Amino acid sequence: MKLVVSAGGTGGHVYPALAVVEKLPGRRSQGADAAEVLWVGSKGGIEEGLIAQAGLQFVGLAAGGLRGMGPIAKIRNAGRLVSGFRQARGTLARFGPDVVLSTGGYASVAVTVAAWLKRIPVLIYLPDIVPGQAIRTLSRFAARVAVTSEESCRYFDRSKVVVTGYPVRSEILTLSRAKARQALDLDPQSKVLLVFGGSQGARSINQALMAGLQSLLPICQVVHISGRLDEEWVASTARDLPEAMRARYHHYGYLHDMPLALAAADLAVARAGAATLGEFPAAGLPAVLVPYPYSGQHQNPNADYMVRNGAARVLLDAELGEKLVPTLLELLDDAPSWQALAAMRESARSLARPDAAEAIAGQLRALARRPRGRGAMEVES
């Protein structure tokens, strides 16, 4: 089977696609049934380095967004989209894929439309609860739409939709807490709070945490992934901690082995990106979620889903300075709250779908075997 993957923009779109690729038959062998994978993403996008690290072929397209841009940027990016579409058509013609997997990102628009024109079946995977306009439009060109939750089905043609859950990296499902804490040099007995804001970090979360750090460290260890932009000032602030507390604070600008942090933690503070819906349940990790206020319609529904299912609490970004530390102290400090945290952990675990990656890989195999007649490849009106 020859597969093109188009996924980018954030790790929450890239990592689930990588998890699916790992489930393809014979990918690491040289046998006749070995899957051949080409990743087509945005040139210079966040996915390029991640795909190189995974050892996959990568082609970068010219791409850019239109939403929220000024007139000049829109004109420039529209030109990039046209150029990207031409590049996508040429790439598909040369590689000759049997099927395409798309999880979103600027390049996926060109790839999905180009695949439809060539009658190559497309499977779109929606990591978030609510799709953006681009995914809703592209779903019309797809043969299948896989979704994380039943709640997403109403946004698509129900005959195309399959509920698979969120595919996660195998390490998140298999890592033990003891091994993860040992690898991160953490006390195996003391509670661990994980704080991060995505690949770029989150300044408001960083500021609220650093302001209340000395109140938290007596009751828990803190693993803090600040993002590169805030790395220097966070490290400088941490140097002023009392000596007895420094060993309980573990700061990273960026942590490549994120499954270790997820497995080690008792509680997380994070944005509510798509990965929250899959990686936290897989790790059985309760969370205090802080939706990014400028994320459009994506992060609030993700956070609401986790809260409704008992796996998280939500704070608004504007409330962080006042409410973050008291909320964390409430959850981590005394025995009754520790029992509440245990209940949140079990609720998170109940949302996990360990078979999600295999389910999507199975859908891809089925689509790759299907004849390429017009039929299911017709765009919806």
pLDDT in tens, 281-318: 999 999 999 999 886 568 999 999 999 999 999 999 99
Q: Does the residue 182 lie in any domain? A: yes
Give the separation between CA 275 and CA 196, rounded to whole angstroms: 12
pLDDT confidence of residue 334: 65
Distance from C-alpha of 165 to C-alpha of 77, rounded to nearest angstrom: 33
Residue 380 lies in a domain: no
Q: How far apart are the first and last CA of the chain?
A: 31
Residues 11 and 81 in one domain: yes
Q: Does 376 fall in a domain?
A: no
147 and 209 belong to one structural domain: no
Identify whether residues 152 and 225 lie together within a single domain: no
- Residue 180 is part of a domain; what is its CATH number? 3.40.50.2000
Has residue 232 been placed in a domain?
A: yes
Verify that 212 and 230 share a domain, yes or no: yes
On whether both 264 and 338 belong to a single domain, the answer is yes
Give the separation between CA 134 and CA 130, rounded to whole angstroms: 12
Q: How much is the mean pLDDT over the chain?
A: 89
Structure confidence at residue 70 as a pLDDT band (50, 70, 90): low
Residues 230 and 340 placed together within one structural domain of the fold? yes
Return the pLDDT at 374. Answer: 47
Query: Has residue 66 got a pLDDT over 60?
Result: no
Is pLDDT of 81 > 80? no
The answer to whether position 381 is within a domain reads: no
**Do both 20 and 107 map to the same domain?**
yes
Q: What is the pLDDT of residue 208?
A: 97
What mean pLDDT do residues 68-88 have?
67
Q: Taking 70 as the threshold, does the pLDDT of residue 375 lie above it?
A: no
Q: What's the average model confidence in pLDDT over 183-208?
A: 90
Q: In this predicted structure, what is the pLDDT of residue 311?
A: 97
Sheet holding 144-147, edge to edge: 57-61, 36-42, 2-7, 99-104, 122-126, 144-147, 161-163
E strand intervals along 197-352: 221-225, 249-252, 267-270, 287-289, 312-314
Which comes out higher in pLDDT, residue 31 or 356?
356
pLDDT in tens, 136-193: 999 999 999 999 999 999 999 999 999 999 999 999 999 999 999 999 999 999 999 9
pLDDT of 27 > 50? The answer is yes
Q: What is the pLDDT of residue 18?
A: 95
Say if residue 25 is in the same domain as residue 70: yes
pLDDT at 376: 45
* Sign for the pseudo-dihedral over CA of 40, 46, 48, 51: negative
Domain shared by 257 and 336, yes or no: yes
Q: Residue 189's pLDDT is what?
A: 93
pLDDT for 67 equals 54
Q: Which token pair is 187?
A: 């006390």
Give domain status of residue 377, yes or no. no
> Measuring CA to CA, how many Å separate 16 from each of 97, 116, 289?
20, 23, 20
Residue 124: partners with Cβ closer than 8 Å, 6 or more residues away = 102, 103, 112, 135, 138, 139, 142, 144, 145, 146
Domain that holds residue 187: 171-350
81 lies in a domain? yes
Asked if the model's pLDDT at residue 74 lies above 50, the reply is: yes
Q: Decide: 306 and 289 in contact? Cβ < 8 Å.
A: yes
- The answer to whether 42 touches 109, Cβ cutoff 8 Å, is no
The answer, yes or no, to whether residue 75 has pLDDT greater than 60, is: no
Query: 126 and 210 share a domain?
Result: no
- Whether residue 345 is found in the same domain as residue 360: no
Q: Is the pLDDT of residue 372 over 90?
A: no
Same domain, 188 and 335: yes
Radius of gyration of the chain (CA): 21
Tell me which residue of 306, 269, 6, 273 sits closest to 127, measured CA to CA.
273
Q: How many domains does the chain have?
A: 2
102-141 confidence digits (pLDDT tens) = 998 788 899 999 999 999 999 999 999 999 888 999 999 9
pLDDT band for 7, please (50, 70, 90 cuts): confident
99 lies in some domain: yes
